[in-house]
Amino acid sequence: MQGILYEEASFAQFMMITCIIGGWTAWRTGKSVADSWKGYGLVLVYTALLGLAIRFVHHALFGGTMFSLHYYIVDTIVLLLFSTAGFRFYRTQQMTTSYYWLYEKVSPFSWKAK
């Protein structure tokens, strides 16, 4: 998997920077967009920028390649999974609590009309 998903010497570095630190930041990004009642397109823009920031952290701390399209895409896809989950989780809460007479929660990430 090294060389395909991550370029660091160990998988732990990839997990720590991209999945734990970046994932938490992406989750909070999705939450903040949902809290402000903005659309999903803004999540995509913010996650793309966050992908650049995570590439910089890999470069600054571990000497990773800063401008590698391959690893930027991998990092951004991982971050997009977290930010989308955060957005859907909080949007579901909003819809089912603000419009409780119209919608009911189906799962933590979706709702349906009553």
Mean pLDDT, residues 58-85 taken together = 90
89: Cβ contacts below 8 Å, ≥ 6 apart:
30, 31, 34, 108, 109
Q: Are 64 and 7 in contact (CB under 8 A)?
A: yes
Tokens of 56: 């910089």
Q: Which residues pair with 111 in a beta bridge?
A: 105
Mean pLDDT, residues 96-106 taken together = 92
**Cα-Cα-Cα-Cα dihedral of 111, 39, 27, 102, to 10°?**
-20
Residue 31, pLDDT above cutoff 90: yes
pLDDT tens-place string over residues 37-56: 999 999 999 999 999 999 99
